[in-house]
Each structure stands twice: as structure tokens, then as C-alpha cells.
């Protein structure tokens, strides 16, 4: 039955992708019989098939959805936004179940009764769904009713029409990858053969060799083509995303997609998917204004996000453009100054375009940009890093009031790249051409002075020393220098006094010089991944075989920058500061949301705990048994005014939304904390002084140089729901024994935060203030089901702790989950190497709970 299940999963996943697109289309054109037919057919097929496979949960949900669709098809129900939403919810639930099915081979546990009841209510007489509130429908209707005739045609990518097109077969990706490798090797062998033949000057050989050469090139091109996929595949989910965002944000958004058929390597496609989604989400959430604002500015009410893709040379250009408010140059300038990213003088010398580029710096988000937190924690710096990781680049242009356009340029394929071949210590290496800025020959300065006085006019590039660290003075800029020989320990550097050959490379915002012995040619190389045994050497990104058959390593400029202490981190424009100062990123930093409530002094809450920030209009706040509530995403959300009461004079209130939605545990609640003003977002090394005894305040911390109250979110949640932390546990009373968890965490603040959260999720929590006390517990014979440990701790850190746990004793086989503010892949790899079962980012309570559930084999979820 296994291969049947695999077939079912493939088939259903494809259906679901089409289903999303079709449902969004249906909302625009409720009478489109063809679209309806398509939707009905997909749900019908899923339902019909899962009956055979014995998947009762899936069958019931699909059945309920099908009932609604049958009414739509028969014309006895109209596809309003609410009806479509309910079917989308059903589709989402099907996706969840299918995901669980594909992960574990069995249907995950869960309660679908409310969903099925809601669907049944719609199917029977089209009664109002609980979620359907008249006020809400009224604001949504115009979006749904507005006909945008051009849209469906554009969104329909060729991939969405699998039938009727040219015949296709399915081939495993590995087979294609193998073919690609073989074709590449054939090319190399041909090159060797051609080199040999040139020496022979044998005419009889020349003709068939010429033919072999041609065929080989054609074959390679053909194999490359098989790996190409239309970019539309990465865009499939966007119409649905934009539709949901528009509904949630009360905006009108039109998504235009041009060039969905543009093809690129599937590997690149996979890597570009998330950054693109993030940018579209950003545009919808932050860039586009509300219909009212747009009207006031004389723009059409419906905002527009345009995605386009096209080929230029060996690259694909992808543009994400919006016609929103544009980026606030002044705010960005102020923020850059406040953050110390540039001095006032430096900023004065920059044009707007240069200033805008600050948004790509790590941790750079203006308060305006997070006012409706969408891609929380993932900023444009991550997008930029991801794009650069695949050899691409990203740029932006923005006009105030007219909108912003991001332009991403990525290579068509990662399999073949242009590289500069260099030599150091007798070995040859390839440096990806994309990273190379220029080649210079630099004389060595005899002076070792630390002064920055300019050298003689004639010498353009000189190597100088600042406190014994060599730096390159290039056209009045000082660049950090790395010697490839020294880095790779290929013997002593050549005569330091002689002129040196320096390859200038650009890594993110940083520029550095790499000293090499010799530079050869630029070659098209076939990139092969690094063997697993070398994967920890981050200075190499792969290897390749040259035309003469020799195998050489490809250098990773990112890795070299890191190895020289530059990090991927922030670098000041002058370059020297970065060379001198080690990467700062190692300190544990927390992103805090600063706001004001009931007083002028700022208050702070960890941004990771805030689900969204909303501005809720006065008229949307109602009273329910004396307490303020609002309709939020289809449910009633209690509002708690932090200042004690909601000021009736204000037209709109900023609200921090805390949510506790966990389908696996059947929880679905949220609460809004009403504040006076959102001030900023700050990244700080958080040291909270506990105490004060004031209710609702956890303690005081220095944030942005000011003493700031850090609020106790648990306290406010309990005001909204007296049972916020109790009910989940209570519901499980009588169920099996509560699983026990040991929490090892040196910070009082985090213990205060996490212990109640874990207790609420049904765990018996024991806290230890460090690794030593925890190990004492072990030696005293205490036993737990799982351990959650901080990484950054004084005395003994989490890595050392987990090694001790794994080394001996009764805990050696327990699941141990790491909690850390550092989530660089290297850190995660180090954590796993040390023996952690899983690695979770601090403050991501949901991720921690999910990880615990997974480690404990879902016992907790099952007991709910």
C-alpha cells in the first residue's frame, strides 16, 4: 500500500496547489463555471481516493468541503468571500493532514468537528458562518466584486494546465542530477580530447571529433533544460497569500504576474521561493496603503503588486514592484545614524539610493515597517543573504508616494558558473566571478605607521599595516586583507616586500582583498558540491574539474570573510573598523518592541512573543459583558487596555496581538493588548533586573540607553483569559501522566517566560539555573522525559552541558533541545554535533512546543 500512499500524496499536493489558485479566481468571478468545475473535481478526487486508502479524517473534511462546492456548482449558493474562505479553510486543513500524513505515514490527530460543522452550516441553507460578521463582509465585498478580467489569464501559468499540453513523464530529480553530472564530465573529457587532438594534427580524427564536440554541447544543453522549471511554480502560492493578506489588512490589492513561464534551474527556483514570498508579503503588508489613504493621495483604491521575470544573458531578472508609499528615506537616514551604521558626515555624502540600501543591513527595521508584523524576525537582510548565497544580487529603487521596486538578479543555473582561476602556494583555486570586483597589484608600504595620511598620488593600491594587521589602501579606501596562503596554511607568504596580486571581492556589504600568488584565466566551471567530509571547511563552496583534468577547490568568499573575522555582519563604510573589531554577533541579542502605554516612559515586550501589531479602529471595538472585544480574523478577540481603559476619543488604537493557536492542541485563542503608541524596535542584549513588585511588569532593562519596563506578558494574558495557562492543562486532567521537562536556563527572565508557557502546554517543568545544578539533579537520580537547555550560559555552556549529558548517566539518551539566540546554520550544526536533538530559536515558544511534541512522540497532542 506504501507506493499507493506516495502516489496519493503527490497527486493531492498537486491538486491542492491548483485548488488555491482556482479558489482565489473563483472569488473574483463567482459565476465562472469552469473554475468551479475544476475546484469540485479536485476536492471530489481527493475525497474519492482517500476512501480507498482508509483516511477517515481527510475523507470527512473533503466530504464537508465537497458538499459546499456541490451547492455552488448547482447554483444554489453564491461564492461570496465568506463561502470561499470556508472552502479555503477546508483546503488548508486538508494540507495540514496531508503534511502530517507525508511526515509520519499516518493521519495526524486533530479535531475537525468545528470546521465540518461550519461547512455543513453553509451547505445547508447557506446560513451565516460563525466567522461571517456583517460588518466584516461589508468591507470585504468590494474586493470580491471588483472584476479584474485580465488577472485570471495572467495568473494561469503553463504549469497549471497539465492536460492537453505536450506529453510529459515523471523523472526522479536524482536521475536528472546524475545525468547533469555525467554530461558535465563528458564535456570535460571532450575538452581533454580536443587538447590532445590539436597536438596530433590528424585530419581523420578531426572530423568525428568536431561532431563529438557538437553533440556533447547539445547534450549538455539538453540536460540543463530538463532541470529548468517555469518560475510560475514559485509564484503559485502568492495569489492566495495576497488575497488572505488583503482580507486581513482591509486593503485592496491586485497581484499582477508577468513572465511566469520564464524558466530557471529547479535548484535556484527552490532557493528563491522564500525570499520572493517574503517580499510580496512585505509589499502587501507594509508598502501598500489602506484604501482610504490611497484615495486621499489621489491614487486608485486598489494597490498593485507586480511580479515580473525575464531572461537577460545568463541571468534571470525578477522584479517585485508595488505602487505604495515608497520607502521613507528620512526615517532610514535617522535610523542608520542612531544605529551607528554611518556618521552624519558619511550620510551627508550619500545619495538617496545609497541610504535606501541600509534596509538590507541586518536587524534594520523601522517601527513603521513592523507596525503590522508580517515577516517577523525575517528582514530584508535575510532576503539579501539568500539571494547572494546563490550568486545573485538584489537592488531597490523607491520613489516617495509612487512605490518601490526590488530587482533580483540571479544566475540561470548553479551548476555552471564563471570563475577566476588563481594560484596560491602551488595550488590552484577558483573564485566565483560574481564576487570578484577587480584585480590589483599592490606595492607594500615600508612605513608601519598607523596614520591614515594619504600615500603618494601615483600609487593607487598599497598594502599598509595598522597595528601589524595588513590592510589595503585602494583609492582612499582601506580594505581588510587576507592571504590565501596563510588562510589555507599553504606555507609562508611570499616575500612580503614584493608587490602582491590582490583579488578584490565583494561579500554582502563588505569588500575585502585576497592576496594570491598568481591569477590565470576566467573559465566556465561545472560546480560540484563539496564532499561531506570537507563540509565543515566553510572556505570552500565546491570543487570542479578543469579542462586539463585537474580537480581544484572553489573558494567561498563568504567563508573567507568569516575566516578573516569580517563575519557577514555589519561593516562600517570605512572598512577599517570592521577589520579591527571582531564580529559582534556573538552576544545574545533580543529584538524588543518598544511602545508607550499609560505614561510617557517606554515599555518593552520581546517581539518574538507578539503575533502581530494592528491598528484597530474605534468603531470596531465592541463591548461584550462589559469587556472590550473586537472581531479579529473570524473570532472574538478580548482587548486589554494597558492604561486601564480605552480612550474613547481616539479614532484608532494600536494593539499588540498575542495569539495561542495550536491546531494540534486544539487551541485557538488570541488577545489584544491596547497600547498608546508603537515607538520602535530595538535589538538589545537583554539584562532584566527583576522585581519591583508592580503587576504586569517583569522588571527593568536598559533599552536604547534608557531604563525601560519589560512587560510580563503572562500577566496580561491572564487578565484576558483567567484560564489562559490553566485550561490546556486542565483539559488533560485524567489523561496520561504529564510529561516532565527539565529547563536549564541561567537567565531569570527566560525562566519566568518559558516555565509557565511549558506548564500551560501540559508539561511538568523543573527549572535549573545552570548546567552544574542540572547535572547535580542527574547525579541525585532525577529523571525527565526531555531537557530544554540554553546555549549561552556562564561557567558551563549548553554545548559542554549536552556533551556531559550524552557522555554518561541516565540522561544519555534523553531528547535535549537547544534554545539559542544564535541561529546561524553553523551554530545549529555545532549544536547537533554536540548532541542536541533539536535546535530552537529563543522566544519562539511555538517552535519549542512543536519540537517538544516531536521529541516526545506527540504524546501531548494526542492527550488533548
Binding positions for another protein, rule: CB under 8 A: 4, 7-8, 11, 37-38, 40-41, 44-45, 47-49, 51-53, 63, 66-67, 70, 163-164
Query: Of all helices (H) and strands (E), which one includes residue 862?
Result: helix 859-863
State which residue, 163 or 737, has the beta carbon closest to another protein: 163
State which residue, 7 or 496, has the beta carbon closest to another protein: 7
State which residue, 8 or 836, has the beta carbon closest to another protein: 8
Strand partners, 598: none
Q: How far is the CB of 4 from another protein (least distance, A)?
A: 6
**Could you tell me which residues come within 8 angstroms of residue 260 by beta carbon, excluding any fewer than 6 positions away?**
154, 155, 157, 158, 230, 231, 232, 235, 309
**Does residue 702 contact residue 674 with C-beta atoms inside 8 Å?**
no
Q: How far is the CB of 130 from another protein (least distance, A)?
A: 24
Residue whose entry in the numeric block shows the C-alpha cell 470546521: 115
State which residue, 125 or 781, has the beta carbon closest to another protein: 125
State which residue, 126 or 328, has the beta carbon closest to another protein: 126
- Per DSSP, 432 falls in state E
Q: How far is the CB of 47 from another protein (least distance, A)?
A: 7
Torsion angles phi and psi, residue 21, rounded to 5: -60, -45
Q: How far is the CB of 121 from another protein (least distance, A)?
A: 17
State which residue, 90 or 238, has the beta carbon closest to another protein: 90
Cβ count near 839 (within 10 Å): 20
The beta-carbon contacts of 375-379 under 8 Å, at least 24 apart in sequence, are: 375/278, 375/281, 375/282, 375/285, 376/607, 376/608, 376/610, 377/591, 377/607, 377/608, 377/841, 378/278
- Helices 238-249 and 266-282 cross at an angle (nearest 10°) of 10
Q: How far is the CB of 38 from another protein (least distance, A)?
A: 8
State which residue, 38 or 231, has the beta carbon closest to another protein: 38
- Rounded distance, CA 86 to CA 43, Å? 14
State which residue, 90 or 561, has the beta carbon closest to another protein: 90
State which residue, 47 or 612, has the beta carbon closest to another protein: 47
**Does residue 526 contact residue 537 with C-beta atoms inside 8 Å?**
no
- Rounded distance, CA 179 to CA 161, Å? 27
State which residue, 38 or 143, has the beta carbon closest to another protein: 38
Q: How far is the CB of 73 from another protein (least distance, A)?
A: 10
- Rounded distance, CA 346 to CA 577, Å? 14
Q: What are 69's three cell numbers?
A: 462546492
State which residue, 8 or 716, has the beta carbon closest to another protein: 8
Nearest Cα to Cα of residue 390 among 487, 497, 267, 488: 267
**Could you tell me which residues come within 8 angstroms of residue 304 by beta carbon, excluding any fewer than 6 positions away?**
253, 254, 256, 322, 323
- Rounded distance, CA 258 to CA 206, Å? 47
End-to-end C-alpha distance for the chain, whole angstroms? 30
Q: How far is the CB of 263 from another protein (least distance, A)?
A: 24
Q: How far is the CB of 51 from another protein (least distance, A)?
A: 3
Q: How far is the CB of 37 from another protein (least distance, A)?
A: 8
State which residue, 119 or 417, has the beta carbon closest to another protein: 119
**Could you tell me which residues come within 8 angstroms of residue 348 by beta carbon, excluding any fewer than 6 positions away?**
none
Please return the burial class of 419, using the count of CB atoms within 10 Å of its CB with bins 0-12, 13-18 and 19+: buried
**Does residue 728 contact residue 761 with C-beta atoms inside 8 Å?**
yes
Q: How far is the CB of 71 from another protein (least distance, A)?
A: 11
Q: How far is the CB of 45 from another protein (least distance, A)?
A: 5
Q: What are 149's three cell numbers?
A: 478580467
Q: How far is the CB of 162 from another protein (least distance, A)?
A: 9
Pairing relationship of beta strands 461-466 and 469-474 according to DSSP bridges: antiparallel
State which residue, 27 or 66, has the beta carbon closest to another protein: 66
State which residue, 71 or 653, has the beta carbon closest to another protein: 71
For 293, what's the count of Cα atoms within 13 Å in the CB-facing half-sphere? 12
Q: How far is the CB of 721 from another protein (least distance, A)?
A: 39
- Rounded distance, CA 604 to CA 677, Å? 12
Report helix, strand or coil for 252: coil
State which residue, 50 or 787, has the beta carbon closest to another protein: 50
Q: DSSP letter string over 284-336? A: IIIISPPHHHHHHTT--SSEEEEEEEEEETTEEEEEEEE-SS---HHHHHHHH
Q: How far is the CB of 26 from another protein (least distance, A)?
A: 16
**Could you tell me which residues come within 8 angstroms of residue 204 by beta carbon, excluding any fewer than 6 positions away?**
none
- Rounded distance, CA 582 to CA 560, Å? 14
State which residue, 35 or 543, has the beta carbon closest to another protein: 35
**Could you tell me which residues come within 8 angstroms of residue 729 by beta carbon, excluding any fewer than 6 positions away?**
738, 759, 760, 761, 762
**Does residue 116 contact residue 64 with C-beta atoms inside 8 Å?**
yes
**Could you tell me which residues come within 8 angstroms of residue 344 by beta carbon, excluding any fewer than 6 positions away?**
337
- Rounded distance, CA 609 to CA 376, Å? 10
Q: How far is the CB of 10 from another protein (least distance, A)?
A: 8
Q: How far is the CB of 12 from another protein (least distance, A)?
A: 9
Query: Of all helices (H) and strands (E), which one includes residue 172?
Result: none
State which residue, 73 or 389, has the beta carbon closest to another protein: 73
Q: How far is the CB of 57 from another protein (least distance, A)?
A: 15
Amino acid at each position: 500500500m506504501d507506493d499507493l500512499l506516495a502516489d496519493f500524496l503527490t497527486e493531492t499536493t498537486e491538486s491542492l496547489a491548483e485548488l488555491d489558485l482556482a479558489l482565489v479566481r473563483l472569488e473574483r468571478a463567482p459565476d465562472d463555471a469552469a473554475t468551479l468545475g475544476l475546484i469540485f473535481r479536485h476536492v471530489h478526487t481527493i475525497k474519492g481516493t482517500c476512501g480507498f486508502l482508509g483516511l477517515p479524517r481527510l475523507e470527512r473534511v473533503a466530504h464537508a468541503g465537497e458538499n459546499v462546492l456541490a451547492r455552488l456548482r448547482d447554483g444554489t449558493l453564491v461564492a461570496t468571500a465568506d463561502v470561499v474562505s470556508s472552502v479555503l479553510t477546508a483546503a488548508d486543513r486538508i494540507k495540514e493532514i496531508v503534511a502530517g500524513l507525508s511526515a509520519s505515514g499516518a493521519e495526524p490527530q486533530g479535531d475537525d468537528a468545528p470546521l465540518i460543522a461550519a461547512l455543513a452550516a453553509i451547505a445547508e441553507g447557506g446560513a451565516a458562518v460563525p466567522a461571517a460578521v456583517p460588518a466584516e463582509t461589508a468591507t470585504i465585498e468590494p474586493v470580491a466584486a471588483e472584476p479584474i478580467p485580465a488577472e485570471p489569464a495572467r495568473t494561469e501559468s503553463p504549469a497549471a494546465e497539465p492536460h492537453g499540453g505536450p506529453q510529459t513523464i515523471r523523472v526522479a530529480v536524482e536521475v536528472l542530477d546524475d545525468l547533469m553530472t555525467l554530461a558535465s564530465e563528458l564535456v570535460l573529457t571532450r575538452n581533454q580530447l580536443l587538447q590532445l587532438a590539436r597536438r596530433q594534427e590528424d585530419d581523420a580524427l578531426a572530423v568525428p571529433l568536431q561532431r563529438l564536440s557538437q553533440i556533447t554541447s547539445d547534450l549538455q544543453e539538453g540536460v540543463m533544460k530538463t532541470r529548468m522549471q517555469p518560475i510560475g511554480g514559485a509564484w503559485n502560492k502568492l495569489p492566495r497569500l495576497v488575497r488572505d493578506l488583503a482580507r486581513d489588512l482591509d486593503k485592496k490589492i491586485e497581484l499582477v504576474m508577468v513572465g511566469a513561464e520564464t524558466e530557471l534551474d529547479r535548484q535556484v527556483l527552490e532557493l528563491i521561493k522564500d525570499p520572493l514570498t517574503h517580499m510580496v508579503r512585505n509589499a502587501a503588508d507594509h508598502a501598500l496603503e489602506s484604501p482610504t489613504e490611497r484615495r486621499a493621495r489621489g491614487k486608485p483604491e486598489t494597490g498593485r503588486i507586480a511580479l515580473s521575470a525575464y531572461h537577460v544573458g545568463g541571468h534571470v531578472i525578477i522584479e517585485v514592484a508595488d505602487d505604495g508609499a515608497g520607502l521613507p528615506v528620512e526615517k532610514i537616514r535617522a535610523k542608520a545614524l542612531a544605529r551607528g551604521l554611518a556618521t552624519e558626515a558619511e550620510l551627508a555624502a550619500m545619495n538617496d539610493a545609497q541610504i535606501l540600501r541600509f534596509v538590507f543591513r541586518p536587524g534594520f527595521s523601522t517601527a513603521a515597517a513592523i507596525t503590522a508584523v508580517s515577516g517577523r524576525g525575517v528582514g530584508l537582510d535575510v532576503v539579501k543573504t539568500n539571494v547572494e548565497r546563490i550568486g545573485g544580487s538584489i537592488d531597490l529603487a523607491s520613489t516617495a508616494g509612487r512605490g518601490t521596486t526590488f530587482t533580483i538578479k540571479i544566475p540561470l543555473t548553479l551548476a555552471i558558473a564563471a570563475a577566476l582561476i588563481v594560484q596560491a602556494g602551488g595550488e590552484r583555486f577558483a573564485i566565483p566571478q560574481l564576487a570578484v570586483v577587480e584585480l590589483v597589484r599592490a606595492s607594500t608600504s615600508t612605513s608601519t605607521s598607523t596614520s591614515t595620511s594619504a600615500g603618494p598620488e601615483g600609487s593607487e593600491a598599497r598594502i599598509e599595516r595598522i597595528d601589524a594587521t595588513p590592510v589595503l589602501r585602494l583609492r582612499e579606501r582601506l580594505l581588510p586583507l587576507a592571504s590565501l596562503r596563510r588562510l589555507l596554511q599553504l606555507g609562508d607568504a611570499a616575500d612580503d616586500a614584493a608587490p602582491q596580486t590582490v583579488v578584490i571581492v565583494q561579500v554582502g556589504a563588505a569588500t575585502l582583498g585576497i592576496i594570491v600568488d598568481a591569477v590565470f584565466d576566467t573559465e566556465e566551471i561545472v560546480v560540484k558540491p563539496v564532499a561531506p567530509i570537507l563540509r565543515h571547511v566553510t572556505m570552500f563552496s565546491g570543487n570542479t574539474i578543469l579542462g586539463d583534468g585537474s580537480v581544484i577547490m572553489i573558494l567561498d568568499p563568504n567563508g573567507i570573510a568569516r575566516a578573516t573575522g569580517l563575519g557577514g555582519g555589519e561593516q562600517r563604510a570605512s572598512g577599517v573598523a570592521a577589520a579591527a573589531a571582531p564580529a559582534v554577533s556573538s552576544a545574545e541579542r533580543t529584538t524588543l518592541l518598544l511602545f508607550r502605554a499609560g505614561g510617557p516612559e517606554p515599555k518593552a515586550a520581546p517581539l518574538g512573543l507578539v503575533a502581530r501589531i494592528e491598528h484597530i479602529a474605534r468603531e470596531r471595538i465592541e463591548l461584550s459583558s462589559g469587556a472590550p472585544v473586537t472581531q479579529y480574523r473570524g473570532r472574538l478577540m478580548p482587548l486589554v487596555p494597558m492604561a486601564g481603559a480605552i480612550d474613547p476619543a481616539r479614532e484608532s488604537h494600536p494593539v499588540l496581538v498575542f495569539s495561542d493557536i495550536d491546531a494540534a492542541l486544539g487551541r485557538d485563542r488570541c488577545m489584544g493588548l491596547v497600547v498608546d503608541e508603537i515607538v520602535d524596535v530595538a535589538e538589545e542584549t537583554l539584562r532584566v533586573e527583576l522585581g519591583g513588585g508592580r503587576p504586569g511588569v517583569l522588571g527593568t532593562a536598559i533599552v536604547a540607553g534608557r531604563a525601560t519596563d519589560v512587560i510580563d506578558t503572562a500577566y496580561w494574558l491572564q487578565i484576558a483569559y483567567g484560564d489562559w495557562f490553566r485550561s490546556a492543562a486542565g483539559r488533560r486532567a485524567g489523561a496520561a501522566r504529564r510529561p516532565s521537562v527539565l529547563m536549564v536556563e541561567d537567565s531569570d527572565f527566560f525562566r519566568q517566560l518559558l516555565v509557565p508557557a511549558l506548564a500551560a502546554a501540559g508539561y511538568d517543568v523543573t527549572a535549573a539555573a545552570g548546567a552544574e545544578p542540572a547535572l547535580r539533579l542527574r547525579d541525585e537520580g532525577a529523571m525527565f522525559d526531555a531537557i530544554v537547555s540554553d546555549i549561552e550560559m556562564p561557567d558551563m555552556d549548553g554545548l559542554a552541558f549536552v556533551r556531559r549529558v550524552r557522555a554518561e548517566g541516565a540522561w544519555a539518551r534523553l531528547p535535549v533541545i537547544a534554545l539559542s539566540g544564535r541561529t546561524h546554520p553553523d551554530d545549529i550544526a555545532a549544536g547537533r554535533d554536540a548532541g542536541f536533538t533539536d535546535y530552537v530559536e529563543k522566544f519562539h515558544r511555538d517552535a519549542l512546543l512543536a519540537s517538544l511534541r516531536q521529541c516526545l512522540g506527540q504524546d501531548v497532542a494526542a492527550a488533548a
